[in-house]
Structures are given as structure tokens and as C-alpha cells.
Chains A and B, each alone.
Chain A
């Protein structure tokens, strides 16, 4: 495996694995990390997976890896890869099974002092209103025609159904709806799985978290977002549930044949891909967009439920219990975007897997109020540690395909976390520290223990130091609901 000596140190926050490192690499790998973070990931297979990703046909620029990187399957978590449109490839495994897994942040005018006595009740209300857990089903029962509408319309469906406001959609990536979704490219099995799960959180690392705005670094940007020090905010982290998982599984299977038909040689079968302009590539893109729209609608319905919980707890106790949308952003997605590469504007398919879009000021597609400050980048930590609100920069547009980190990133395996941490002890420890916890599974809670994650502050200092994001606010957890 690669050693530190074989990498080029670009600066304090950037490293490069040259294209000559392995014969089948098509582009170099650029790593955003401090030396300390880099040395930590060299203990897993993140870099080997990034090198494997650099063999995909049609890549442009670099394969990028963010400081929260860790080993995944096929493509590393924290990876970004752009392929030339339309003759480069699209790889379902480089987007992930949980298509459009992402984070939504809602702000409030409720101060910590007003909320302090009600956090236990609030955690229970959120747990009650927002269904979670293994295979969890929601309160909505969709027929096939309605599911097809969600595939095509995403959050616009939620608006018509009374689960959203216009402001919610304006402050969602792509307005909560990717064009080009085609439900006829989605299998019956995916639809069967998707129908009962809309408006559910799921399990694993997905969560709903109440936080306090602890520190503001950029008062102007925080003001535009409606984030005030000392006030409560809410994060929702989840994706496209079984619907997206099935779509990815279907196409990873389908593409096993496509790589043979297009004579594509790959070091790992999980990286299977097809040209964007092939029937296989077009079908996957159309199906992936259905899952992306489903995920936008899913987080929107969950936000509606969370608002019900806030109303139940705070109505009559505070003058304004409304939750306003700050932003909703994906971190597992493939998007057709135009970026400046080697001095030319090039249309590409940007694969982000465990990486957040981080468009800078003036970028197309941002709502008017964010044009001057850049797009909010939401970086959740682990249950017991801080989360961050950042914004994209002009630098991110030219150096990272408008991308940044998506979280803290794991530093300990799940099996090790289970051996080291007893879920019930962790719950007590978090609650003693002032964090209310509602979890469907104590074993699952142990796997997601804060000590299993990197120091999120170090991750944020890295993207900030590298210039691909700018700090706006730091959040401190108060209550967590996990599936």
C-alpha cells in the first residue's frame, strides 16, 4: 500500500497521489487532510479505494478525498470524482446505496433557556412523530401513481400534499427536485419497498438531532440563515430508504454485464459503471434521480413531523415555535454540473459519496439570499460532539468541483465500537452530559458512539484551512433520536 513518502505534499492541508503511482490510474488523487488525519486513514483502505476510483474511464481533474474519509466498499466515503459528459462513465457504487442521503437543517427562535426544561419531552415527541428503526414504515400509504409523482416531483409533491412551504423548497438543493427522473426505469421491487417508507428515518447512522447554536464565526452569513447564538436548531440525517437501496442494488447488478459489453476493466466489481450516454447509463441516471427526489420528499415529510413535535411541546410556552429551513443538501449523489477544468468550462458528472456539494457565492442554483454568502454546507458530528454549518467558497468551485466534507468520518470499526462501548452505558453518559437520547437499538447506539468518529473540529479546520469551505457556526447537541 502507499506510504506517506510516495505522496506529494501540496501544502499543510493537501496531498497528492500521482497518476504514476499505479499503472491503471487515469488521474491523480488529491487528498484534503492534515498529516495527522492522513496518517490515521492509512490504517484502513480509504486510499487504496481512492486509487481504485482513479481508474474509472472518462475521469477529469483529480479524484478528491475529503478529510472525513474512511473505508467504504468500492469507492471511499468522502470521495468525489468527475467524469466527462456524455462519454465518461457513471458508477452507481460511487454514489452509494443510500442515494441522496443528506442533511436538512432547520433553525428556530427558541432559546436554550426557554427549551431547557422541555428537552426530555421534546426528544420523546420527535421519537413519537418521526418513525424510525429497522425497516420502519411511515404513516403514509402510497399507491403506485403517487409514488411515481414523488419520483418526478420530489419536494414539489410534498408542497402540494401540505408537508412543505415554498421557503422550504427554495432552501433545498435543486429546489428538492432533480429533472430527468423517470419512474419507468425503477423496478417493481424498489417501488414495493419505497411505498410504505416515505417519512421514515431508518436505522444505522441516521438521526434527528436538536442542537444549540453554540458559537458563530460569521455573523453576517449566520444572520442570513436565521441562526442566532443560543437558539435551538434541528438536523435531519437520512436518505432514500429501501427505495434507493434497491435502485442501486438493481443497477450494480445490471452493470456487471455492462462493463463486459463496453470492455471496461476495473479493480473492484463494486465500481461497475457504464458510459453516461449508453442506454444503461441513461437508465441508471433516470432511476437515480427518482431516488434522489424520493429522499428530498422523505426529509421534507420528516421535517413536517418534527414541526408537529415542536408545536406539541412548545405551543403556549414560547411565542414562536416555528422551524424555518436553513438548507437541505445531499451527500450521496451523481449530478451533471459544469466546472472550470484546466481553464475551460467542462460539463461533467460529479459523483459525491460521503461528500457535500459546497457551491460558492454567485453559483447558479443558489437561492437569492445565499448568492452573496455561498451555499450552506451541513457537517453533522457524532451524537456527543459538535456539528458545523459552513459555506462553500469560490475556491471550492475551482479546486474541489464545488465539494466539501460531509461529517466527522469513522475512525473505529463497528465491531470494535461494539466491543468497547456498552449502549446503555453510552446512553447514560450522554444524558449525564445533557444530551437526551432515544434509540431503537442499544447495539446500534454503541456502533455510533462518539469515540468511533474522528474529531469533527479537526475535519472542519482542514476544509477551512484548505479554503474549500468557510466556518459559519458551531452547534452543540441537546437531544438525539436514532433508529
Chain B
């Protein structure tokens, strides 16, 4: 069986949604988390004009950084109807993330995510890189 070096899959959760995310490095972990979140919410983008944003976010630790990064994407989806599928120049330190994101207007979204939670949130180092489980309130 071929194991992908980066990816995500849904874990059974009684009331909400839980994602297991893994990647060879932290930057890729954040990108996979974003892709997984869009997949969970059934987000599809238009084939229209591309939209770009630059994000510069800071937080007390890398778990908080992951939360505010995903929340930022949710906010842009709700307020500006943009989803993102391209994550460039992602620079990550212990308490800051900077990146350029590119996407398009959301064509459809089947489910609503209320929040990204801190429930048992811990970015762990593995032999292959990093992994994290994220619970979303839906």
C-alpha cells in the first residue's frame, strides 16, 4: 500500500467533525488542514477569475496559529465568498504565519462549520513529519 506523504482523512466524531491531518513539514500540515476543511464542508469553487490574498497572522503557539489560520479562511468564505486552493510562499515560525493564498468565488458549499476548536489540539512530531487532529464545531 502506498502511503501519501501528506493528506487528511475524516475521523468518526459523534456530533461534530474531526480531521486527521499529516504532512512532512509544518507548512504542508497547515496547507493540508485547509484542504481538508474545505473538503469537509463540501466547498466547490467557480472556474472564474482568480482572487489573491496575503495573510500575516500571529498567535501564542503553533496550535493557536493553526486555529486562527483556518478561522481566517472560514471568515473570508463567509464574508467575501472566496475559497482557496493554492497556498504559496508559506512561511511559518512558532508564532507567526505568512503566506499568499489564491482561490476563487465559492460556487457551492453544502455544510456549515461554526468554529475550529482547541479540543485535544496538539501538533505532534512523527517519524515522517507532523500530524494533528482537528475537531470542528458544526
Seen from chain A, the residues whose Cβ lies within 8 Å of a Cβ on chain B are: 44-46, 70-74, 77, 93, 96-98, 134-135, 189, 192-193, 202-204, 242, 245, 248-249, 252-253, 256-257, 268-270, 272, 410-416, 441, 443-444, 447, 483
Contacts and interface: CB of A to CB of B under 8 A. Distances in A.
Given A134-B112, A270-B118, A443-B42, A410 B77 contact: no
Contacts of A134: 41, 109-112
B119 A270 contact: yes
The list of the 10 closest CB pairs from A to B, nearest first, reads A73-B119, A203-B112, A269-B118, A71-B14, A413-B12, A270-B119, A97-B115, A73-B117, A441-B110, A134-B112
Contact of B117 (A192, A270, A413): A270
Interface of B: 10-17, 41-42, 59-60, 63-64, 67-68, 71, 75, 77-79, 109-112, 114-121, 135, 137-138
Nearest to A72: B15
A444 B114 contact: no
Contacts of A268: 118-120
Contacts of B135: 73
A483 B77 CA distance: 17
Contacts of A249: 71, 115-116
Given A93-B117, A253-B59, A269-B121, 19 more contacts: A73-B117, A73-B137, A77-B15, A93-B118, A97-B117, A98-B137, A134-B41, A135-B112, A193-B75, A193-B78, A204-B138, A249-B71, A253-B68, A268-B119, A270-B118, A413-B14, A414-B17, A415-B12, A415-B17
B96 to A, nearest CB: 15
A73 B79 contact: no
Contact of B15 (A257, A414, A441): A414
Nearest to A244: B114
Given A203-B112, A253-B68, A242 B78 contact: yes
A268 B118 CA distance: 8
B114 A204 contact: yes
| Most interface-central of B71, B117, B120, B135 (chain A CB within 10 A) | B117
Contacts of B42: 441, 443
B64 A71 contact: no
B13 A245 contact: no
A96 B115 CA distance: 10
Contacts of A415: 10-13, 17
Nearest to B63: A269
Nearest to A189: B75
Nearest to A101: B114
A204 B137 CA distance: 10
Given A44-B14, A253-B68, A257-B60, A74 B119 contact: yes
Nearest to B17: A414
A197 to B, nearest CB: 9
B118 A441 contact: no
A53 B67 CA distance: 22
Contacts of A73: 16, 117, 119, 135, 137
B117 to A, nearest CB: 4
Contacts of A272: 118
15 contacts: A71-B15, A97-B115, A134-B111, A134-B112, A204-B138, A253-B59, A257-B60, A268-B118, A269-B63, A269-B118, A269-B121, A272-B118, A413-B14, A415-B10, A415-B11
Contacts of A44: 14
Contacts of A77: 15
A443 B10 CA distance: 15
Given A71-B13, A414-B13, A483 B112 contact: yes
Question: Which of B42, B63, B79, B112 has most A Cβ within 10 Å?
Answer: B112
B118 A256 contact: yes
Contact of A416 (B12, B16, B68, B77): B12
Contacts of A71: 13-15
Nearest to A413: B12
A412 B16 CA distance: 11
B40 to A, nearest CB: 10
Nearest to A70: B14
B63 to A, nearest CB: 7
B111 to A, nearest CB: 6
A46 B42 CA distance: 28
A135 B77 contact: yes
Contacts of B67: 253
A465 to B, nearest CB: 24
B15 A410 contact: yes
A93 B77 CA distance: 24
Residue of A73, A96, A256, A268 contacting most chain B CB atoms (<10 Å) = A73
A159 B106 CA distance: 37
Contact of A70 (B10, B15, B137): B15
Contact of B114 (A93, A97, A256): A97
Contact of B112 (A202, A257, A270, A410): A202
B115 A444 contact: no
Contacts of A193: 75, 78-79
A292 B62 CA distance: 31
A417 B8 CA distance: 20
B20 to A, nearest CB: 12
B89 to A, nearest CB: 25
Contacts of A253: 59, 64, 67-68
A204 B17 CA distance: 12
B64 A248 contact: no
Contacts of A245: 114-115, 137
A73 B41 CA distance: 18
Contacts of A189: 75
Contacts of B71: 249
